Amino acid sequence: MSKLKLECIAIGSMPHDNLTDAMAIVSENFGNIPFWPQMVKISKKEDMSIQFLEGMPSFFYGKSFLDTEYDTFYDDLENFFLDYETVLSGEDTTGEILSKYQISDENSVSFKAFLELLKDDNVKYAKGQITGPFTLATTLVDKNGRCAIYDDTLKEIILKLLSLKALWQINQIKNINSSITPIIFIDEPTISQLGTSAYVTISENDVVYMIKEVSEIIQNAGGISAIHCCGKCDWKVPIKCNVNMLNLDAYSYAQNLSVYRNDVRQFLLNGGKIVWGVVPTLDKQALAEATVEIIEERFTKAIEYLTKKGIDEKLIIENSLISTSCGAGSLTKELANKAFRLTKEISTKLKARYNDI
């Protein structure tokens, strides 16, 4: 990960309703780390809570529990777990089984276009994503309206399905260009709610177990694992998950990260990266008024929160990337384009500023 210093990267969603326009924006602003966009304005199936459900045993996907035959579900479940073990063991040498858990054209209009960008030999990294297992397991409910995370079987289904989705992306990227290192973001917005009254009965250890398992599967397949949370977060939890990158909304919550200074320092010393989401996408007014100078000031302040807590500036800068604070799917195309342009511009400016570090 030595060539990632102050590179820019984007979170997945885009508001564009034209694929050609969207991919031009990706190519223009994120040529060093192309990302796979979620085109939420083209199809609702590209929503992060829906896009990764293909291939889930019929208990959930396409039918309600009451419409699903008991035997059918358990036949599907047995085959699903067998497929998972076959893929993880390395026995699926042709990728035929893994392809059963692909992200289809129906669920992503942009994935093939994203792969086309990776044929450029100058590209060394590419960014994909999955919904985080904790977030998905607290979004999906059973027939009684109870979150899936409270059912051990459903929790394992979600965990393994998302792992297969990550592996499929890595496989596709590597097949296009074997020299590229895939970066897979685990989108976990709900982790900011861990410990609140809504999830008071969910243990930290359970969440760490889920994310850590997905992260290690990504890493073992030759990828880089990242976790994205755009709210206030107990950052000790993602760090315990052994991810390679932390991505935060550094426009609004940079000071929150410094609360966990000892954990952050050790994370950086171990080679971890911080992806600073300093370009606001959740605050439309702030984005409309933003300039490169304003964003640079935010970045400087974010770094100072850590240096004032005793973390070496060089250590931080060498292990920093730049991103938008969250996805851009809810913005107008004009504001989204501005956010992406600012992300590239601030990355370029900071590279020059910290060239000697």
333-353 vs 292-307: helix crossing angle, rounded to 10: 60
- At residue 141 the predicted structure's pLDDT band, cuts being 50, 70 and 90, is confident
The per-residue pLDDT for range 214-237, each reduced to its tens digit, is: 999 999 999 999 999 998 899 999
- At residue 58 the predicted structure's pLDDT band, cuts being 50, 70 and 90, is low
**pTM score, two decimals?**
0.94
d(CA 164, CA 148): 19
> DSSP readout, 20-33?
HHHHHHHHHH-SSS
d(CA 75, CA 19): 38
d(CA 309, CA 111): 42
Q: Which CATH number fits domain 2-51+109-353: 3.40.630.30, 3.20.20.210, 3.40.1450.10, 3.40.50.300?
A: 3.20.20.210
For residue 63, the model assigns a pLDDT of: 44
Q: Which amino acid is at 310?
A: G
Best CA proximity match to 109, nearest among 223, 30, 10, 16: 16
All structural domains of the chain with their residue ranges: 2-51+109-353, 55-101
> DSSP readout, 107-155?
T-SSHHHHHHHTTSTT--EEEEEEE-HHHHHTT-B-TTS-BGGGSHHHH
For residue 67, the model assigns a pLDDT of: 45
- At residue 134 the predicted structure's pLDDT band, cuts being 50, 70 and 90, is very high
> DSSP readout, 206-273?
HHHHHHHHHHHHHHHTT-EEEEEE-S---THHHHHTT-SEEEE-TTT-HHHHHTTHHHHHHHHHTT-E
